[in-house]
Structure 1
């Protein structure tokens, strides 16, 4: 009897297991919503935040500080969860995220906001990794397709509803509520996870310890490189001692990190997973996708509000072509891949569409209509939709089951790093070009006074100054998206290196030929 129960665990719990899993997933999806909503909401609120707090030159750091902290903490959250149990660590990440949200809403200047966003990002690093790791513990890979609808729904809600919610809150309640809105959601997530999530307690293996040295070196390396991309050409000249020193220091820290990981008994990022070509290629494509997506979400609303005259609410709605195309294509690709096991063509098509969409967006100017920009955004969104689920799916399929958590954490890290680099590089180009254009057209005083980027403030300016600023923003947008298109070409080229390896669990499971036939039929109906 015991052997039979082990061989057929699902029927023993009948319908109860799926119901309990769905309840746990609901709690996890709320927590996932917290992390995904944040940058989507803040993107549409940024022009108003800059208008009140000032600091246009630090605009990109509001997002960069968050994504940088998320990236640096992601591997550590995953390792601590493996060692001490996921539930307690996951709850701790939610609490830290909520503390950072409350403090961000109370910020009185741009420096405080950036610091508090760092705290918020530290918590966010544990949210996404915790959700993926817990789902991996609860649901076998073959069964995860049954629950993809819930995750896709959350992604749709965050990406489509986030800009709309952010714009509405900014217009009617003030930008501070863009952060305070996390508090009630977080309280619900804490209550539900505490009460419905039950995982076996982990016993810490004797002699294992956290790879603090590796984590510290990775953090130093990432921070130095992002500072180079953020400050280079704006705060400091590219050839200055500060930029060169940061570049050399960052490269040295990352080299030391690689060395330490080869010697550590329990490395925070085992390097053997990169021996798989598919894993390495998908990690790099994930980096590029993050680079493009978060840069677009931040700088498209600025163009729409400053050049096209949209309100914060309308700029959120105007992102719908990109977000709807991304979600629709992503869902169709996921369903097709699950049913057929085929996926190689999708990164190629996605890379091509993403590059074309970015190039089209780089051609926008002060005369571009909202319909035209909407079509361009839909092309970009379709390209990202082909890549979103495939990168994680193929990366996870490229490693052994024992490395599933590490693979998920590493892929998430690369995508987060991509978003950090994208916002930093596009931000540096955008700000530098706007300042140069304003200086060339006699409007340098506006930039020096940290221009009010929202449409209402621009309407109060003299017509000549307003037009000069709109042309400057259009020029900055052109530079930012043209560089993103060049980066996207690399992703398109990498897609041709993907090998189509059979997906574990793809297609219908073979019917058992033993005495467990009746049990199998029950399992199939669950």
Structure 2
């Protein structure tokens, strides 16, 4: 094949992009990934201020996180399917444009209702970035060379995760900026990413006949959303054991049962049921859901605890999240290197699940008077456990399936982990709201609590009331981790039953070629 002068012509001719062209294209991709990860973390330290200013309740606090997670989770498989039909470049720019729209609406939101709608748009855009980044990388780079570039994405993810809470805290504490800039800050970066991708990303549009399972996606989203709405409202607007509970649960379960039936008959299902034939995959998915529930459900409310219970500023609250993130990055890196060196992986899954459970139990002892160094140690323990567990569950599942099922297995694990996060934030958020409301009623009387858990603004409270409220939020947050610990322990049980299988030394393409040769007629 004759080489041609420009990257666009090279791609169209089917040639491989050279190293310089790949790095240029990745710059726009990594900028987009940075923005989408930043959106999830930058808002954490701003939420107490946002909710206090817009007059939201503890349930609304939960839903500002959950709506983005759910929208992202539900749309990840759809973006992946559309990448087989349409231009990957156009789709990734469209996902960034949706993210810009959501960010602008969020930054200008006059009330919590508009803010929730904007978070859905942000979630759909972030779902596109999550799904398409790896697809675009695979389209540009052969598997043998993928490692040298994927490290760049790991660094971007780590920096965005660590920088997000810090940036959010500084923006909230800066009087001439404020919390609205936690959303608006992503707009110029997203627009820059769109422009960079337009100039540098040149991929051929290869179409194949696919059918998008819209009905399956709709039923899965509707079923999970029904259960999430129930877990948010129960205990606040109606009793846990009530006719409303029965209606919500029955409706959610029925929708999910219909989703399973539709998926079993779909030509290209959103979640291929065939992958559940493999015991390791099934157990890895179960453990991923539990990791999502425990990690997202527990940690998303820590920033609120730092600011309300410990009286820290948003900037300091951002700094206090570093021990957990550093623990996660160090343990995942070290475990990955040891697995590569020795080829053994199950021990890290079991150790990670045990340490994660221990971290949840340690955090169940916190209160309004717990010292910052002690909390930092507890958070680092939780981060170490999650770091050993999260990525290695994907490794275990990928190693167990044929090459043809690698994509479906990886996307299913991502899908269920995000779904677990959505469920965890919603369900444990409801537990927190219920506990806060009951403690308010106990300390201030039913009239003072008003039957709802309004998130207070610590700066506007008299010292006597502030001391009681700090104690309430400390007690309620500890209760949250106490509920999360047995959920985390179920992950220990799941990984114990995973059978260790020697790691394959072949790439996905090499495995596929060998499998095709084995099944070809002789």
TM, length-normalised to structure 2? 0.89
5+ long unaligned stretches in structure 1: 3-12, 511-526
Aligned to 1:521: none
Higher mean C-alpha deviation, range 158-167 or range 439-448? 439-448
Deviation at 1:295, TM superposition (A): 2.7
5+ long unaligned stretches in structure 2: 3-13, 511-522
Aligned to 1:94: 96
Aligned to 2:489: 489
Aligned to 1:44: 45
Instruction: Give the distance between the partners of 2:344 and 2:195, measured in 1 at CA.
Output: 40
Which one of the candidate residues 121, 126, 132 is aligned to 1:124? 126
Deviation at 1:318, TM superposition (A): 0.8
Instruction: Give the distance between the partners of 2:68 and 2:331, measured in 1 at CA.
Output: 28
Which one of the candidate residues 410, 419, 422 is aligned to 2:421? 419
Q: Is 1:291 aligned to 2:293, yes or no? A: yes
Aligned to 1:316: 318
Aligned to 1:475: 475
Deviations 1:30-80 (A, max 9, x none): 222222212211111100001100112321010111111112212211111
Aligned to 1:26: 27
Deviations 1:304-356 (A, max 9, x none): 11121110000000111111111111111222333443211111111011100
Deviation at 1:248, TM superposition (A): 1.0
Match runs of 1:335-354 below 5 Å: 335-354=337-356
Report the RMSD for the aligned CA atoms in angstroms.
2.4
Deviations 1:3-53 (A, max 9, x none): xxxxxxxxxx99973333333333222222222212211111100001100
Aligned to 2:36: 35
Deviation at 1:486, TM superposition (A): 1.1
Instruction: Give the distance between the partners of 1:410 and 1:421, measured in 2 at CA.
Output: 16
Deviation at 1:84, TM superposition (A): 2.5
Instruction: Give the distance between the partners of 2:433 and 2:188, measured in 1 at CA.
Output: 35
Deviation at 1:506, TM superposition (A): 6.4
Does the 8 Å contact 2:437/2:453 carry over to 1? no
Aligned to 2:57: 56
Does the 8 Å contact 1:365/1:471 carry over to 2? yes
Match of 2:48, SS?
helix
Does the 8 Å contact 2:298/2:484 carry over to 1? no
Which one of the candidate residues 187, 211, 227 is aligned to 1:183? 187
Instruction: Give the distance between the partners of 2:24 and 2:394, measured in 1 at CA.
Output: 24
Q: Is 1:374 aligned to 2:376, yes or no? A: yes
Deviation at 1:274, TM superposition (A): 1.7
Match runs of 1:321-340 below 5 Å: 321-340=323-342
Match of 1:43, SS?
coil
Aligned to 1:161: 163
Instruction: Give the distance between the partners of 2:493 and 2:162, measured in 1 at CA.
Output: 30
Instruction: Give the distance between the partners of 1:227 and 1:398, measured in 2 at CA.
Output: 36
Does the 8 Å contact 2:17/2:140 carry over to 1? no
TM, length-normalised to structure 1? 0.88
Match of 2:301, SS?
helix
Aligned to 2:148: 146
Say if 1:446 and 1:107 are closer, same or farther in 2 by CA, change over 3 A.
Answer: farther
Instruction: Give the distance between the partners of 2:406 and 2:193, measured in 1 at CA.
Output: 25
Instruction: Give the distance between the partners of 1:99 and 1:50, measured in 2 at CA.
Output: 21
Match of 1:280, SS?
helix
Say if 1:341 and 1:147 are closer, same or farther in 2 by CA, change over 3 A.
Answer: farther
Instruction: Give the distance between the partners of 1:70 and 1:22, measured in 2 at CA.
Output: 27
In the alignment of these two chains, the number of paired residues is 494
Higher mean C-alpha deviation, range 131-140 or range 412-421? 131-140
Aligned to 1:462: 462
Does the 8 Å contact 1:301/1:316 carry over to 2? yes
Q: Is 1:200 aligned to 2:204, yes or no? A: yes
Deviation at 1:296, TM superposition (A): 3.6
Deviation at 1:111, TM superposition (A): 1.2
